[in-house]
Structure 1
Amino acid sequence: MPTITRSAHWLSHAGFHDAIERYTLEEHQEIERYTDILEQHFPI
């Protein structure tokens, strides 16, 4: 079963920071959705 990990990074370029922030917020939602699906089918 995949394990959720976390990391922290500092981005000095504001535009790059904003783009990465938007992406990671969307990614977080998809990872939660995928984790829920995996948990429903995990045999243990």
Structure 2
Amino acid sequence: VPLAHRAPRAIKVITSPAPYRHPLLKADMPPAIRNKDQQQTHI
């Protein structure tokens, strides 16, 4: 899969549970920051 080789980060986003599907920039964030942002997003 060429895309997987070009952007391995995308795999994390695609294979993670739905609530954790964020743009690649957010996928690069530490989990704590991502969770904090997720809570604000889903309120």
Q: TM-score, normalised by structure 1?
A: 0.35
Which protein, 1 or 2, shows the higher relative CO under an 8 Å CA cutoff with sep ≥ 6? Answer: 1
The structure that has the greater radius of gyration is 1
State TM-score, norm by structure 2.
Answer: 0.36
* Higher percent of residues as helix: 2
